[in-house]
Structure 1
């Protein structure tokens, strides 16, 4: 039995004793775990302060100036009766543990931030104390001095990379440095009550799946092993491991073994016949079950038949393969079927750990699933994610690419040293413990050695490489391992220096807004169509919060919006939160501003609210065209694309698809959903010329008997008719393939702007919507007609709550025939959500509803996921739910409804 000590901690600053204890020191109530020293001190001194708001973080003392002792705190908690083992799951950075003023020595060696450490608790112990110190090398975010003109900013002065911890705590181009370097509890503090024995890191490892002709669907005959670690306070005990599978009542029994310290147990291979397989998103046909898992119970039994240490967990039966796709680059198969990966780059929910809770993980992962992602990359400058993250990825069918700690920015390639981290023994423990802990999760597709490491002869260094090799061999799981995300020379992009076995790609990026013509090119934005980039681990664009309500959580809404020439902005708060320009520099000083392309008025009259609305459409089109560009060359040029980034550990103004506080989606999220949610879709390849489209079938069964048509719509002239234009009939697309078709589409002159194009098919695909104009400026569209209809807001609509199920809320939107305009870009917003304690995350299901014509009634649905910090109380009462319908050209006075929930 395990008990997690989350609440009821006290905390103090008492560094004067060898054994940690608050003693007679001043103490106060700690925030609930996970937490940091910084948050604990804020509770004492400034509980109302949000360090992420505006420039507050700059007014907090930095550990580089205060010294490590300032952020060295001691936490105390009563020990439950009969406690046997204490486990610290992830402490940043050094922990000293005592019970009743007696020092405890850890069972496990020190492994930096990411390795677990266990302590045997003394019988009858009453009071637990844990002193946590910051990393040994806290570094400086200011970079007052550099060595050999090294670049500064990606990890500050790089010193933090000397330790085995998350490098982004010292700042990045999307992150302000955290003043205490996030010293504290990232994961749980667990108490175990077992009498003498523990089962640790159990896993069911699949060695082979037998499917007819290697074509797996729902069922397979699985050859597997059970592995686990037996820990005992009684050395030399002779035991057996039992594993009982619930789906067919099969019981597997290991050979007898004697426990010596931590003893690895491996059963002989056995057969699980006709078991339902685990499948990820982005591949499934009618017979497959996403995230299907089976329960297994383990226990130890001695020679007298006594049972100990019962534990239950779930596993997914699946097998992964990696290969080089047609000489273009690395690709993956799941259960022998190739899969195109559309992923997001993930850091962690909160740099101060407070939001790193199961409900938050579930909501953020669900937002990725709702947009159409089937993979996440846990980036190497961040963390080794917690079990809760992986459990939810298993459940949702989201594949994970987990990188080990290390970046080219700080580990020698561009700055820092190839010899780092300095404590290679701690790195070795960290790598091994991470691989042991994660081996049971079905969603973990492969492990990366680090972010943008190079060259292979130096990075990872020889000691780190040996530690990784040993961990791969001893973890028992047949991990797929790729040392680096990107090689290609010191600047990236030199294809002759790319080695597929070492890195995923020769070049990554870009990270800026692109022009419409870029998306018709191979490797959009890199200006190199000859470079073979099959697996793109990071490419992205600008981001902005969805509205004033979310922006107000961390910035003033009284300020002017960024100017048209926004490559360099003067507002210090926007600079601090890492604003990234919405402009593309065409030639010299000529800019095309993708947000202001939607403005119809003198730029001096643009409000901040207007600017946010413009960025919403700009982000939507950017990400829709970006994903469409990669899908249109599915397995011809590309095998994977990962967006940089899709979420943020603090409220930055770059690299996110939903806001940090309320998780409200922005236009980038909707653009990706428009392109990626359906496994079968049709895309315009060049929005300027309209001369080609692509039918994309990402599913693993054929797409047959397709008819393709296009329609034009005018928002301001709903009676305009250009419908039913048949492009082709009775065509088919094989599994995981594309079909290019020439187009003869012209935008009608009679279609008054704003003008929208819709492509639809007759068989199993969502509609694809695009907006464009006949007028271009510097290679980009003139969308000022959108600004005009937003200012006049002439569309009429009624909005009503219909009903709800346990999973979905349904709403009806009716646009009467008397409405002078069609309703464009409808969105449903949950009202009365505070910045710091939102009740729910909203997962919208907009499908292909972008425009609602007069005389039409449509149904929109959304899911609500709890964001309560009290994860044990499912009956927590929330205030009544009120929703608002918003749309680009709607007068919102008529749009508020209350939802009365039914169970």
Structure 2
């Protein structure tokens, strides 16, 4: 018996050893190069051929940086400059514009001796890396996912690319370095990054709270001469980024493969029998490239398997030969390959409409030397489409997923000020969006098309993505700038093609647009439109994200219907009484599809001190402001922060403490976002959607966000979460009726709606219930409250609740009403008592999750209850709450859940801090 065991173990060892040797022989690797050194050409006079040698020594100190990293990010990390995110630190860093530096005396801060502008010359990035001897004879590709603005590359003393070949912020570059790589030894890489061709001239800095409107893109919009992140010169929500984000802003990889490589794979999915979705047909096309002078014959193998659900994999293979030093286009359709027909497919649905089911495809090319190349990516089985309808002279754009119309709710997503984001951060932000019941994230045209990790997260969380190309009316001539910009059309076109290749397989991508509130010149407009049709062809293209810009006569419009965009920006961007949004929605017009509106939305108190690092009141300004607020966007521009502030004071009373000020601003946030989304929702089948300007922030900011730069949601986030939940009860503020909204594709079943009206001291003034049953997507009014509220001439609460046949609460909602919008009586509410009980605690590999029961044990309404997940006195961010800033009627109880990344909680014991407008704080320790 012992002998048999020994034999088995020996066989297993030999098998594993041989398998490992085979895997090493045929391994395909893609190594991320991260550890670089950085220095300015002002200080380094050596040539690239010298810097890119392994024995290079410099008499100048080089700064260690982690790539991806812009130059400014690297210098901040090395403490050469302070963090521009904080306070007024950005005014301690010189700008890329000489004229601007002189205006603000920023030249004094240049770290380069006798050079007032440290950004005028290129910067060098240098690294060394080893390549195994076993990889001798392999094909090596150096992949740059994104540089800004131009680059020249040297490997082991030889130049691979120059600054005419690598230009623009949005193109991906794959450089063949097979002849230059030394297998079995040390290798050196030097990258020379050039600044923007035209740095752009920023507008005057926002150095005053309640200061003037910032001219987006600067006074002339000349940043638009480049193909870059246009907002890096400053917008009314982001200050100028001093180096304009020059650098290596996306990862760099060294890819090792065999002689034949796979590139540009595209997988198209079709549901040919809609509305029947029982059969899906797939089509695959890709390019095989032979890098040698010998014809290669091999086999292309394809495996398709479920990614996030249990199911059966399918596979097939086909022999394919590729001539020497050439490429071959390879394609398969379901008519040719039975395995590309999927019966009963698990479809990818947007958030709120179903599960975001994903599949993974593996592609492998094998020749007589083993595996030459393989690649894999995730996709979803789904179709998207669009139509337009004329509504009283306004074209409304409608979108469809899997043959069903979807109502879009979400908003614009903007890049970090210094494009500092990683895969974890993208996951956190997209998870926050999903948790808010957002189903659409818009990539705004003045920002960047985000890295792959963003798209992967959007796919996972079921978030549709609306992707603008890099055009805005503020730089391309609609408002200012020029249609002649960007100056190098070829750089723009190359970036368009590269971006389509990169993101076209993501199921989250819903629509391409030709830019934001403006059009590129004709040849660039058609470069976008025609390449989307030719290289993608599976999703719509609309001319721009705006109703402002009209296409010139004779230009073709949206694809495929050749109509206008059918979406409208223009705000309002300032805080409005909820009744105003109902007037806009009822009038229709540009609210048939509103793709930009929003309100100033200040963070809660616990992150406010991080946004405005100096909270000392300047008594020349309204309490508690100082001019640091202005730099973090408290201005009188489109956001009209001054009106936001004065409306808060007139409604809720003058604050006397910073905490009170912050709490009252959260009441403004909640009612503002509630008004936007409920006004749109009550016209659910008559509008295409409503989108915020904006969801997030580029730096710590006090305006236009549902969660802040620190990932802290404000009360408006939870107002949106509630207002766009799948089945929702609400009070319509145009006709004072209670309405139930069904956003799903399924019937609601039998529901009971309940309406209660309470006085300030929680005396019951009205109670009524009614039955409701919606068979499909739509709305229904179930009871009028106007006669009731017309007889109440005092402050009151309207509390709504919707329960199913089992008595489970499906939706709850609370409003506070007062004659003449005088909500100051809230300041005198009697206290309520809460009891919080932990129901369930789950420790996960990636996330921890907790369920709590919160009960109002008193005879008073518990108003604006806010639970926070805490570790060692600090709130865990992000935290994903099922509800927050909610209210409980006397004796009412509710169950709430919260989850957070396990890494954010760590080994410490978390707790939940429960507070509220009129409740005593309690700290509940979690198991």
Where on the TM-score scale, by shorter chain, does this alignment land: which range?
0.7 to 0.9
CA separation of 1:740 and 1:514: change in aligned 2, threshold 3 A: same
Larger-gyration structure (1/2): 2
Q: 1:88 aligns with which of 144, 168, 182?
A: 144
Structure 2: how far apart are the matches of 1:514 and 1:399?
28
For residue 336 of structure 1, the aligned residue among 403, 414, 417 is 403
Q: Partner of 1:402 in structure 2?
A: 467
- Cα displacement (A) at 1:501: 2.0
Q: Structure 2 CA distance, aligned partners of 1:583 and 1:748? A: 35
Against the structure 1 CA distance between its residues 591 and 171, is the aligned structure 2 distance closer, same or farther, given a 3 Å change threshold?
closer
Q: Could you tell me the TM-score, scaled by structure 1's length? A: 0.85
Corresponding residue for residue 111 of structure 2: none
Alignment match of 1:272 (pick from 316, 336, 341):
341
Q: Distance in 1 between matches of 2:621 and 2:732?
A: 31
1:783 aligned onto 2:819: no
Specify the alignment match of 1:516 in structure 2.
578
2:176 corresponds to which residue?
A: 120
Aligned counterpart for 1:480 among listed residues 534, 540, 543: 540
Q: 2:753 touches 2:802 (CA, 8 Å); kept in 1? A: yes
5+ long unaligned stretches in structure 1: 145-149, 454-458, 869-875
Give 1:506 shift: 4.9
Over 3 Å counting, the alpha-carbon distance change for 1:434 and 1:840 in structure 2 is same
Distance in 2 between residues matched to 1:834 and 1:39, nearest whole Å = 30
CA distance in 1, matches of 2:871, 2:226: 43
Are 1:166 and 2:229 counterparts?
A: yes
Aligned counterparts, 1:48-197, within 5 A: 49-65=82-98, 66-67=116-117, 69=119, 72-82=122-132, 84-105=140-161, 109-121=165-177, 122-124=180-182, 126-142=187-203, 152-155=215-218, 157-197=220-260
Aligned partner of 2:675 among 616, 625, 644: 625
Matches of 2:823 and 2:832, distance apart in 1:
18
1:615 partnered with 2:678: no
Residue 33 (structure 1) aligns with: 67
Equivalences for residues 106-505 of structure 1 within 5 A = 109-121=165-177, 122-124=180-182, 126-142=187-203, 152-155=215-218, 157-206=220-269, 208-211=270-273, 214-216=275-277, 220-234=278-292, 237-246=296-305, 247-251=312-316, 253=318, 256-258=321-323, 263-269=328-334, 270=337, 271-282=340-351, 284=353, 288=354, 290-302=355-367, 304=368, 306-325=370-389, 327=391, 328-348=395-415, 350-354=416-420, 356-453=421-518, 459-488=519-548, 501-505=563-567
SS in 2 for 1:169: helix
| Residues 800/248 of structure 1: CA separation in 2 closer, same or farther (3 Å cut) | closer
Provide the C-alpha distance between the structure 2 equivalents of 1:878 and 1:74, rounded to a whole number of angstroms.
Answer: 41
Task: Give the distance between the partners of 1:704 and 1:769, measured in 2 at CA.
Answer: 20
Of residues 797, 802, 815 in structure 2, which corresponds to 1:760?
A: 802
What's the CA shift for 1:230?
2.7
The SS at the match of 2:48 is: coil
- For 2:290 and 2:613, the matched residues in 1 are separated by 54
Relative to structure 1, the CA distance from residue 571 to residue 500 in structure 2 (aligned partners, 3 Å threshold; closer, same or farther) is farther
Structure-2 residue corresponding to 1:147: none
Q: Deviation per CA, 1:167-190, whole angstroms, max 9, x where unpaired?
A: 000000111010000112221111
**TM alignment of 1:698-717, pairs within 5 A:** 698-714=743-759, 716-717=761-762
Q: Does 1:683 align with 2:757?
A: no
Q: CA deviation at 1:570?
A: 7.5
Residue of structure 2 in register with 1:864 after alignment: 900
Q: Mark the CA change 1:665 to 1:562 in structure 2 (over 3 Å): closer, same or farther.
A: farther
Aligned to 1:558: 616
Q: Determine the structure 2 residue equivalent to 1:844.
A: 881
Residue number in structure 1 paired with 2:715: 667
Gaps of 5+ in 2: 1-27, 99-115, 206-212, 306-311
CA offsets, 1:143-162, max 9 Å, x none?
79xxxxx9933345322211
Aligned-pair distance for 1:759?
A: 4.0
Distance 2:127 2:161 in 1: 18
Q: What is the CA distance between 1:585 and its match in structure 2?
A: 9.6
Counterpart for residue 13 of structure 1: 40
Tell me, yes or no, if the aligned pair for 2:747 and 2:774 is still in contact at 8 Å. Answer: yes
Preserved CA contact (<8 Å) 1:381 1:407 = yes
For the residues of structure 1 that align with 2:33 and 2:617, how far apart are their CA atoms? 40
Give the match for residue 456 of structure 1: none
Q: Does structure 1 residue 769 correspond to structure 2 residue 830?
A: no
Would the alpha carbon gap of residues 673 and 329 (structure 1) be closer, same or farther in structure 2, given more than 3 Å must change? Answer: same
For the residues of structure 1 that align with 2:201 and 2:597, how far apart are their CA atoms?
Answer: 28
Normalising by structure 2, what TM-score?
A: 0.82
Residues 96 and 899 from structure 1, CA distance in 2 versus in 1: closer, same or farther, beyond 3 angstroms?
Answer: farther
Aligned equivalents of 1:635, 1:155: Cα separation in 2? 40
State whether residues 414 and 443 of structure 2, in contact with CA within 8 Å, keep that contact through their aligned partners in structure 1. Answer: yes
Q: Deviations over 1:344-394 (max 9, x none)?
A: 20112x22122x111110111111111110011100001111111111111
> RMSD over aligned Cα, in angstroms?
3.5
